[in-house]
């Protein structure tokens, strides 16, 4: 189940500032020596057949993508341990790269995510 870590919520962000109880917003998450900027959305504003929970993750002040460990931390803060979330590599014709150092995690609300056999992951 999708949830947000209110302790890290940015209440005064000029675009994504939100209040406790909102299941979306902007967050700054400590991750060792760095801070992660996260924008999260539970997908509730979309039609029910198209809902996707989503977080975007960027390392503040660094021109690098987040590491596996950093993405795993974010996954554990926004979803339950048994939730499967995915990173997507879309077809080149639909690819959008607004911020080259940001990674995204997604979970479909309306469909169960198929997964490969455990031995392969």
Q: Which residue has the tokens 């939100």?
A: 18
> Helix or strand or coil: residue 74?
helix
Q: What share of the chain is helix, strand, coil (3-state, %, to 5)?
A: 20, 25, 55
| Full pLDDT tens readout for the chain, 121 residues | 999 999 999 988 777 778 888 888 999 999 999 999 999 999 887 777 778 999 999 999 999 999 999 999 999 999 999 999 999 988 999 988 888 899 999 999 888 888 999 999 8
Q: In the prediction, which pLDDT does 19 show? A: 81
How much is the pLDDT for 68? 96
């Amino acid at each position: 189940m999708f949830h947000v870590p209110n302790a890290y919520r940015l209440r005064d962000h000029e675009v994504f500032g939100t209040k406790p109880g909102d299941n979306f917003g902007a967050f700054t998450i400590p991750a060792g020596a760095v801070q992660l900027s996260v924008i999260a959305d539970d997908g509730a504003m979309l039609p029910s057949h198209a809902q996707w929970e989503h977080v975007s993750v960027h390392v503040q002040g660094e021109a690098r993508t987040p590491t596996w460990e950093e993405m795993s931390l974010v996954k554990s803060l926004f979803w339950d341990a048994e939730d499967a979330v995915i990173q997507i590599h879309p077809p080149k014709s639909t690819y959008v790269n607004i911020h080259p150092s940001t990674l995204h995690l997604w979970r479909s609300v309306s469909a169960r995510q198929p997964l490969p056999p455990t031995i392969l992951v």
